[in-house]
């Protein structure tokens, strides 16, 4: 049985079911910002939506984990479990995680349906330039181990459902592309 959220106003979005939208990309690529903008657009339309951000999850759910490959995978396993529960309860989950290894993202894809991988594309040079926290500088100087893009690899998605390029488009344009994708694929419905 499919649930549709009904509204009186013309131009509102309606939901047909849950989905997990997984934002992946380098630190500083704009994942959190684009994710937050998508959340605002969906929430303002009355769509059940939850945002799961890597930095927040690390503090609340996974504070016991480090940044080794094994710990990163445990982090993703925990997040996946929560996203799976929300998705099957007809919530749009917006998950913003570097998730640097394809095997991690493949695991999430196998566990959650529907799963939409959004590659937040941005060059390493631009991410370093944007680095407000100074993390890249510390990683380059050897002060941070296992830093994605510097001392650990980032494996770009080979066939993501959607690519948003935050070097070439505004954050709002990227967020709009995500919402338009959800509408075009029938995860949410927009009536004009």
CA atoms within 13 A on the CB side of 145: 4
The three-class DSSP label of residue 38 is: helix
Can you list the pairs that 125-131 forms with residues at least 24 positions away whose Cβ atoms lie under 8 Å?
126/28, 126/167, 127/26, 127/27, 127/28, 127/29, 128/28, 130/28, 131/27, 131/28
Element (H, E) at 34: helix 31-44
User: For residue 152, what are the β-bridge partners?
Assistant: 148
DSSP secondary structure, 86-147, as one string:
HHHTT-EEEEE-----HHHHHHHHHHSSSEEEEEEE--HHHHHHH-TT-HHHHHHTTSSSS-
In angstroms and rounded to an integer, the radius of gyration of the C-alpha atoms of the chain is 17
Output phi, psi for 172, to 5 deg: -65, -40
Residues that are catalytic: 99
């Amino acid at each position: 049985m499919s649930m549709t959220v009904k509204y009186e106003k013309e131009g509102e979005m309606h939901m047909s079911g849950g989905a997990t939208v997984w934002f992946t990309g380098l630190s500083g690529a704009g994942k959190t910002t684009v994710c937050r903008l998508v959340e605002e657009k969906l929430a303002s339309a009355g769509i059940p939506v939850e945002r799961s951000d890597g930095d927040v999850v690390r503090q609340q759910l996974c504070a016991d984990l480090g940044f080794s490959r094994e710990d990163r995978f445990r982090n993703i396993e925990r997040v996946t479990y929560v996203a799976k529960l929300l998705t099957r309860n007809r919530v749009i989950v917006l998950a913003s995680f570097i998730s640097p290894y394809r095997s991690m993202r493949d695991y999430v894809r196998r566990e959650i349906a529907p799963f939409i991988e959004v590659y937040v594309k941005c060059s390493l040079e631009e991410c370093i330039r944007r680095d407000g926290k100074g993390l890249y500088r510390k990683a380059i100087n050897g002060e941070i181990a296992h830093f994605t893009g510097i001392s650990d690899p980032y494996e770009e998605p080979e066939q993501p459902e959607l690519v948003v390029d935050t070097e070439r488009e505004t954050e709002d344009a990227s967020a709009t592309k995500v919402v338009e994708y959800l509408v075009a694929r029938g995860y949410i419905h927009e009536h004009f």
